[in-house]
């Protein structure tokens, strides 16, 4: 039975899969999204060339937004410091709120020189090459020698972009810098296949020799590297390729040096030991440092959530109910440490709940699991009358926000498809909000 309107904040995979489940149970859902377009990282993070995957997800999202009991308000960031705060959302009297805003904060290492030109966070960088405004229009220039910190799938995407798909001058060398060793890689073999032709086999073998004593001390057998994590070491490169990919293992950055223009020119790194920690390993810094030459550096070490949203926050995450009696419910309930109680009717799902955790499939699972306690809560709650979508839209307009509806999104999709066809491209995205809004308007007038 319908109990009122549920607000879902964030229209990435988690928000939209939660929306689908809640709307399919018969409730009205209003989705508020920071970006004009829905999709989150499926639209603006997943590698641009993964056309098939992106198209499949867009289709599912369009179907969810097309449900008659779902409303979409894009171009509406929710923030304690912005035009629309949590308190204002509450005044519209939703029956429940589901936060699916992803992990929008940046994890920093706090290195001296971190603010230098040419030093980027992976999230900003992938937003840039996936053309999310305003990142699409910012300077993310790279030079001849690029260091990527971290060795997960995001590193692979960024190396792929730099070495293969980036327009203009590509780097001569991309070096992956990782605090642990070759057995602790986090990327998937299938993903690395996209860049294996750039892997400098001889340099990687030399690197393994360089660190062998340190990983042997941790009971790891260097001869097992090809069979366990780097099968490409036993495969020849198919032909000469431009752009080398190298690894610097058991190494952590500690300081960034800048040139006269304020751009990174050198990175001071420290050598690490590998130590056992239960059934895993950890890096332990030595006092041995080296300076390496780089003109660009990208942190790909995962993200944290954005504290400015206004939910109770601690150590990079939003707080959830610590009660262990019903973890399937508690893990999704927002918890207020000041009152020692859950924030009634407030839930968190996806990367907003566990930053940088897993692929779209995992975000979907988490959203659907998280929708269960929402539905249970609604079943027991007294019916509530929320502001109507029309009232909400009017109020947002009054605040100066240019709200984008699901009908507008359909117009935008049509405009982008027409442009792509006209230019004979597999896909095209407008890279500023102004262009998107103008294209919608033009389509509306033509309709």
Ligand X SMILES: Cc1cc2nc3c(=O)[nH]c(=O)nc-3n(C[C@H](O)[C@H](O)[C@H](O)COP(=O)(O)OP(=O)(O)OC[C@H]3O[C@@H](n4cnc5c(N)ncnc54)[C@H](O)[C@@H]3O)c2cc1C
Q: Which is nearer to ligand X, 32 or 183 (CB)?
A: 32
User: How many Cβ atoms from other residues are within 10 Å of residue 168's Cβ?
Assistant: 6
Q: Going by C-beta distance under 8 Å and a sequence separation of 6 or more, which residues neighbour residue 296?
A: 118, 119, 120, 141, 142, 143, 145, 146, 147, 171, 264
Q: How far is the CB of 444 from ligand X (least distance, A)?
A: 23
Q: Which is nearer to ligand X, 152 or 345 (CB)?
A: 152
Among 61, 351, 377, 430, binds ligand X (CB under 6 A): 351
- Tokens 């086999």 belong to 201
Quick one: which segment of 7-15, 228-236, 252-260, 432-440 binds ligand X (CB under 6 A)? 7-15
Residues 234 to 273: which contact ligand X by CB under 6 A?
Answer: none
- Residue with the shortest CB distance to ligand X: 12
Position 399 contacts ligand X (CB under 6 A): no
Residue closest to 351 by CA, chosen among 384, 318, 383: 318
Position 108 contacts ligand X (CB under 6 A): no
Q: Which two tokens stand for residue 74?
A: 């894009």
Position 415 contacts ligand X (CB under 6 A): no
**Paired residues of 71 in beta bridges:** 30
Among 217, 359, 425, 438, binds ligand X (CB under 6 A): 359
What DSSP state is assigned to residue 188? -
Q: Which is nearer to ligand X, 35 or 408 (CB)?
A: 35
Longest dimension (CA), the chain: 70
Among 6, 8, 11, 163, binds ligand X (CB under 6 A): 11
Q: How far is the CB of 433 from ligand X (least distance, A)?
A: 12
Q: Which is nearer to ligand X, 77 or 118 (CB)?
A: 77
Q: How far is the CB of 431 from ligand X (least distance, A)?
A: 16
Q: How far is the CB of 324 from ligand X (least distance, A)?
A: 24
Q: Which is nearer to ligand X, 97 or 119 (CB)?
A: 97
Binding mask 149-168 for ligand X (x = CB under 6 A): -----x--x-----------
Provide the CA 297 distance to its chain's centre, in angstroms. Answer: 18
What stretch of H or E contains 160? helix 153-160
Among 19, 64, 104, 251, binds ligand X (CB under 6 A): 104
Q: CB–CB of 98/349 below 8 Å?
A: yes
Q: How far is the CB of 430 from ligand X (least distance, A)?
A: 16
Cα–Cα distance between 346 and 97 in angstroms, integer? 5
Provide the CA 445 distance to its chain's centre, in angstroms. Answer: 35
Position 129 contacts ligand X (CB under 6 A): no
Position 50 contacts ligand X (CB under 6 A): yes
User: Can you give the length of the chain in residues?
Assistant: 447
Cα–Cα distance between 79 and 75 in angstroms, integer? 13
Can you state the percent helix, strand and coil of the chain, rounding each to 5? 40, 25, 40
Quick one: which segment of 99-107, 287-295, 316-324, 382-390 binds ligand X (CB under 6 A)? 99-107
Quick one: which segment of 42-50, 139-147, 394-402, 404-412 binds ligand X (CB under 6 A)? 42-50
Q: How far is the CB of 96 from ligand X (least distance, A)?
A: 16
Among 146, 162, 363, 436, binds ligand X (CB under 6 A): 363
Q: CB–CB of 32/84 below 8 Å?
A: yes
Q: Which two tokens stand for residue 137?
A: 């229009």
Burial class of 260 by CB neighbour count within 10 A (0 to 12, 13 to 18, 19+): exposed
Q: How many angstroms separate the Cα of 82 from the Cα of each of 62, 71, 316?
A: 28, 22, 20
Position 14 contacts ligand X (CB under 6 A): yes
**Paired residues of 296 in beta bridges:** 146
Q: How far is the CB of 129 from ligand X (least distance, A)?
A: 9
Q: Which residues bind ligand X (CB under 6 A)?
A: 9-15, 32-35, 40-42, 45-47, 50, 77-79, 100-102, 104, 126, 154, 157, 309, 350-352, 358-360, 363
């Amino acid at each position: 039975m319908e109990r009122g309107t549920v607000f879902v904040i964030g229209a990435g995979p988690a928000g939209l899969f939660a929306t689908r489940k809640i709307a399919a149970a018969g409730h009205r859902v209003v989705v508020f999204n920071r970006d004009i377009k829905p999709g989150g990282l499926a639209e603006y993070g997943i590698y641009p060339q993964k056309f098939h995957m992106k198209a499949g997800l867009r289709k599912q999202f369009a179907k969810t937004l097309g449900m008659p009991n779902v409303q979409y308000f894009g171009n509406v960031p929710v923030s304690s410091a912005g035009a629309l705060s949590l308190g204002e959302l509450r005044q519209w009297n939703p029956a429940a709120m589901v936060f699916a805003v992803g992990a929008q904060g940046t994890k920093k290492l706090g290195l001296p020189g971190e603010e230098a030109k040419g030093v980027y966070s992976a999230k900003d960088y992938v937003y840039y090459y996936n053309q999310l405004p305003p990142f699409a229009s910012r300077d993310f220039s790279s030079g001849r020698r690029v260091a990527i910190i971290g060795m997960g799938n995001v590193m692979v995407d960024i190396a792929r972009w730099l070495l293969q798909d980036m327009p203009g001058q590509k780097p001569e060398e991309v070096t992956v810098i990782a605090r642990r060793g070759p057995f602790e890689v986090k990327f998937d073999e299938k993903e690395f296949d996209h860049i294996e032709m750039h892997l400098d086999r001889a340099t990687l073998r030399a690197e393994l020799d360089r660190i062998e004593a340190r990983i042997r001390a941790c009971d790891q057998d260097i001869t097992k590297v090809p069979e366990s994590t780097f099968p490409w070491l036993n495969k020849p490169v198919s032909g000469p390729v431009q752009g080398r990919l190298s690894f610097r293992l058991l190494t952590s950055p500690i300081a960034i040096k800048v040139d006269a223009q304020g751009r990174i020119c050198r990175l001071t790194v420290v050598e690490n030991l590998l130590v056992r920690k239960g059934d895993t390993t950890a890096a332990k810094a030595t006092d041995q440092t080296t300076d390496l030459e780089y003109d660009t550096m990208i942190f790909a070490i995962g993200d944290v959530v954005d504290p400015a949203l206004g939910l109770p926050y601690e150590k990079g995450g939003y707080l959830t109910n610590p009660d262990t009696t019903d973890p399937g419910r508690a893990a999704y309930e927002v918890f207020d440490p000041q009152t020692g109680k859950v924030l009634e009717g407030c839930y968190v799902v996806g990367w907003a709940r566990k930053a940088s955790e897993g692929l779209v499939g995992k975000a979907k699972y988490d959203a659907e699991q998280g929708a269960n306690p929402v539905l249970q809560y609604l079943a027991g709650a007294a019916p509530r009358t929320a502001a109507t979508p029309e009232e909400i839209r009017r109020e947002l307009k009054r605040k100066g926000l240019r709200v984008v509806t699901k009908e507008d999104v359909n117009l935008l999709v049509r405009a982008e498809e027409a442009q792509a066809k006209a230019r004979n491209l597999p896909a095209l995205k407008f890279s500023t909000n102004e262009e998107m809004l103008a294209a919608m308007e033009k389509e509306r007038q033509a309709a």
